[in-house]
Amino acid sequence: DTQRDELVRRIKRLLIERNAVLVAHYYVDESLQRLADETGGCVSDSLEMARFGKEHPAATLVVAGVRFMGETAKILSPEKRVLMPTLEAECSLDLGCPADEFAKFRAQYPDHTVVVYSNTSVDVKAQADYVVTSSIAVPLVEHLRDQGKKVLWAPDKHLGDYIRRTTGADMVLWDGSCVVHDEFRSWALEDLRGRHPGAAVLVHPESPREVIHQADVVGSTSQLIAAVKDRPEQEFIVATDKGIFYKMQQAAPDKKLIEAPTGGHSATCTSCAHCPWMAMNDLVSLAETLEDTNEPAKNEIFVDETARQKALVATQRMLDFAA
Ligand code: CIZ
Ligand code: SF4
């Protein structure tokens, strides 16, 4: 409709005026992913978002996603202004791993190499030897295992359990989970597979073990999109946030995508596979962020410099390992 078109035009103008580029996660609203595509920004997983933001020449990065993604951009590009459509967009993994409690956990395992998922705060990353995303978690832990290292992993227990089973590494796990992926139900998935025998099952490893066991492909968001494009099947059952369907459908317009079933944690929600924090990003909040010329801006990311420098070491190791 015309109101929406006008909003999109305004945002495009503001991005240029403010020398800003839009970096969006696969899980945010389609309208934002499309806008990032159309304006020379990036739509990706958290690893590629980090890399893109660091390398892009724009003075301002606008990160549509959740807080840790904005913080990662600031860790890597302290000279840039980092804005987000909202600063309220959290992540249950980040919230479930407070820095002070993590320090106590870490103190119990002084001989372990500390590997944390990117879905953590700057203060947790500052305590890590390595930051990883799901696309490189397995190869990095294999590398550490081959060096005879024991690994302390945080915060996602399902991903940690998957890495431990896949690599056979000696690992202790923090007890955290993602509110979206933890909801996928193995019994309901079995039932759905029975009704779609030709479908390939794609699962993000933040899902429970019994769901991962039924997967044809276990992988990061980028790896699951590649699977839809490259595999011969015409139907896919997808166990990750349904925001990803936009890019999957773009990659393979003729293929059929089916949502994996969730437990349904509220009466109004029969398909819950969408992150409530990712959903807080929309065109209106993006426009408001770009229009705010206060110093500092309302939705600007700031991080403590001492913690940033420590977190940078572990985050840079992720980029170097992935390169
Ligand atoms: O679940 C998330 O937040 C993911 C998959 C982040 C990422 O690595 O892109
Ligand atoms: Fe965090 Fe899960 Fe939302 Fe990703 S989908 S931001 S892991 S709560």
User: What would the pLDDT profile of 38-62 be if each residue is shown by its tens digit?
Assistant: 999 999 999 999 999 999 999 999 9
Work out the average pLDDT over 212-221: 98
Q: Is 275 in the pocket of ligand 2 (CB under 6 A)?
A: yes
Please give the distance, rounded to the nearest whole angstrom, from the Cα atom of residue 279 to the centre of ligand 1: 14
Q: Is the ipTM of this complex over 0.90?
A: yes
DSSP-assigned beta bridge partners for residue 218: 203
Whether ligand 2 lies within 6 angstroms of the CB of 89 is answered as no
For residue 271, the model assigns a pLDDT of: 52
What atom in ligand 2 is closest to the CA of residue 92?
8
For residue 291, CA distances in Å to 15, 70, 167, 297 come to: 10, 18, 48, 9
Note the pLDDT tens digit of each residue in 82-99: 999 999 999 999 999 999
Pocket test for ligand 1, best of 42, 48, 134, 163 (most atoms within 8 A of CB): 134
323 or 17, which is more confident: 17
> Distance between the two ends of the chain, CA-based, in angstroms?
43
- Give which of 176, 174, 172, 175 is closest to 112, Cα–Cα: 172
Structure tokens at 166: 């896949």
Mutation to probe ligand 2, out of 116, 119, 174 (largest number of atoms < 8 A from CB): 119
| Residue 268 pLDDT exceeds 60 | no
What's the rounded Cα separation, in Å, for the pair 277 and 2?
A: 27
Question: From the CB of 134, is ligand 1 less than 6 Å away?
Answer: yes
What pTM did the predictor assign? Answer: 0.95
Q: Kindly provide the residue ranges of all beta strands, DSSP E only, lying in 165-311, ordered along the sequence.
A: 171-173, 200-203, 217-218, 235-239, 256-259
- Residue closest by Cα to atom 2 of ligand 2: 178
Distance 1 CA to ligand 2 centre (A): 31
